[in-house]
Amino acid sequence: MLSRLRSLLFPSRRQHSGSLVSGVPLLEPAFTEESGAMAGRLRDAWIGMLLGVNSPLELPSNPFERHALKRLGRLLEDEHKVSTLVPRMPSVLPKLLSSFRDPMATSRDLAELIGRDLVSVAEVVRLANTPYYRRSKPVESLEQAVLVLGQRGLRQVVANLLMRPLFSARTGHFSKLAGQMLWEQAELTALLAAGLARSDGEDEFTAYLAGISSNLGLLVGCRVLDELFDGTHTPCSQQFHLEWYLLARQLSAVVVGNWELPAAVLDQLQALADEARQLGERTARRLLLAEQCSHYEMLRLQGRLNQTEAGGWLLQPHMLPLLRVLEEARQRFEPALRR
């Protein structure tokens, strides 16, 4: 049993010897202080990778960092300014979302809507050909892909099409550095959150939308850094990393609120940004757990994980349901690193 669990955790043996820094509270009171500290170290290592500073220092914030935090704070006070940093929702996507609520909509109707956008077609066919669907022959047509994916898969494609272009829309230093990683980690968080919701018999598409939206605020945070960065200072202090991340989390909910996505999605993101609600609400705990696990997986794929230390966190008995969901998500998740 233990060897099976280790094979799930470490499908490749690539390893990094560096240490992963301070803790955050975890999901259940039964979780140990050590377990919470590991989740915090995973988070901090992830932030460091996004910002290109893997060993932040215990230093006071520099002028660049202070200016960036003030800008993020002002965005939270004036939510309409956030729209200048993130485009509006593409017009075809609300039509697709509404079609999923129409019991009369057929696969052909969905294929016709998707077929209006070549990017949509490519994404649908790509997902239908992932190992999760275990096809003996490649899927080559849109109509066949729609049948293979079904309603669940198509919903996830729509959410991906909504979000993915945003993470490659700008080429500033920090957006360029973090954009692809932010997208991939959001996609994995969405797959994990949806899988956990499905296991609980709850609405997996709402969970997927919340996961795929969860990094929008970090994208805004990177764009703020792009605008202020002149090379004089870098985001190198531990305190800045944490404050930047927490403010950016709040901005994810602001963006989703401006887009008028379903209220349940907004509520989950607001809860994720509120430490008390993270622990007190089941949907928020699920989203937090999915996020923490995706930090683990992204660091593992980049070879930036002390696997012996971090693997013990996932081998705790209360994490076993997540391991099953992670195995399924790995079959559908195709980061650029593996393409």
Residue 132, helix vs strand vs coil: helix
Condensed to tens digits (0 to 9), the pLDDT of residues 321-336 reads 888 899 888 888 877 6
Q: Between 138 and 333, whose confidence is greater?
A: 138
Q: What angle do CA 42, 327, 295 make, to 5 degrees?
A: 15
pLDDT category, 37, cuts 50, 70, 90? Answer: confident
- Reference 326, options 175, 191, 168, 146; nearest CA is 191
The pLDDT of residue 276: 74
The pLDDT of residue 208: 93
Q: What is the rounded average pLDDT of the residues 288-297?
A: 93
Q: What is the dihedral of CA 255, 258, 260, 265, to 10 degrees?
A: 30
The pLDDT of residue 107: 65
Q: How many CB atoms lie within 10 A of CB 308?
A: 10
Helices and strands (DSSP H and E) totals, the chain? 16, 0
Length of the chain: 339
- Out of 6-10, 249-253, 327-331, least confident range: 6-10
Separation of alpha carbons 26 and 278, rounded Å: 8
Q: Are 76 and 250 in contact (CB under 8 A)?
A: yes
Condensed to tens digits (0 to 9), the pLDDT of residues 179-232 reads 999 999 999 999 999 999 998 999 898 999 999 999 999 999 999 999 999 999
Q: What is the rounded average pLDDT of the residues 106-126?
A: 72
Look at residue 90 and tell me whether its pLDDT is greater than 80.
no
pLDDT category, 102, cuts 50, 70, 90? Answer: low
Condensed to tens digits (0 to 9), the pLDDT of residues 58-78 reads 999 999 999 999 999 999 998
The amino acid sitting at 210 is A
Separation of alpha carbons 212 and 269, rounded Å: 11
The pLDDT of residue 27: 40
The pLDDT of residue 50: 96
The pLDDT of residue 162: 73
Look at residue 304 and tell me whether its pLDDT is greater than 90.
no
pLDDT category, 23, cuts 50, 70, 90? Answer: very low
Condensed to tens digits (0 to 9), the pLDDT of residues 79-89 reads 778 878 876 66
Condensed to tens digits (0 to 9), the pLDDT of residues 39-56 reads 889 999 999 999 999 889
pLDDT category, 1, cuts 50, 70, 90? Answer: very low
The pLDDT of residue 193: 96
Q: Between 213 and 308, whose confidence is greater?
A: 213
